[in-house]
Amino acid sequence: MAQRPLSPHLSIWKWGPAMLVSILHRATGDAMALVGLPILLWWLAALASGPEAYAFFANLANSWVGYIVLVGISWSFFNHFASGIRHFVMDIGAGYAVDSNNRWSVLTTVSGFVLTAAFWAVIVLR
C-alpha cells in the first residue's frame, strides 16, 4: 500500500473545550452505567430485603469510600445532565460557531461541578 497522508491528521491537534465535554460526556455516562446502576440495584435490593441488609448498605455508603463513590456518581450525573442539555441544543442546529461553542462547553463543564457542590451542600447542611 502506498504511504498516503491520514485524514484528519491525527498528530496535528490541540486541546479545546468541546473535546473535554465530549470525552467527559462519554466517560460519565459509561461510569453511571457500569458503577451507578449496580449501586442503584443494590440500594433497591437492600430496601426489599429488610432493615439488616439496608443497614449494611447504609454503613458502606456512609464510609469514606462510599462518599467518594457517591460524590463521583452524583458528579457524573450532573456533568452528563449538563452536557446532555448541550447535545439537545446542538441537535436543533444551534451553538456550532467556534466562540459560542467554546463558551458553552466551558459553562457546561463548570455547571456540572457547581450542581454537584450545591447538591451535597443541601445534604450536608440540612
Phi, psi of 92 (to 5 degrees): -85, 0
**Could you tell me if 115 and 85 are in contact, meaning their C-beta atoms sit under 8 angstroms apart?**
no
Record the cell numbers describing residue 78, joined without a space: 450532573
Interatomic CA distance for residues 43 and 45, integer angstroms: 6
With CB under 8 A as the contact rule, the residue among 19, 51, 68, 100 that binds other proteins is: 51
Of residues 18 through 37, those in contact with other proteins by CB under 8 A are 26, 29-30, 32-34, 37
Give residues in contact with other proteins (CB under 8 A).
Answer: 26, 29-30, 32-34, 37-38, 40-41, 44-45, 47-48, 50-51, 54-55, 58, 61, 77, 81, 84, 87-88, 91, 119, 122-123, 126
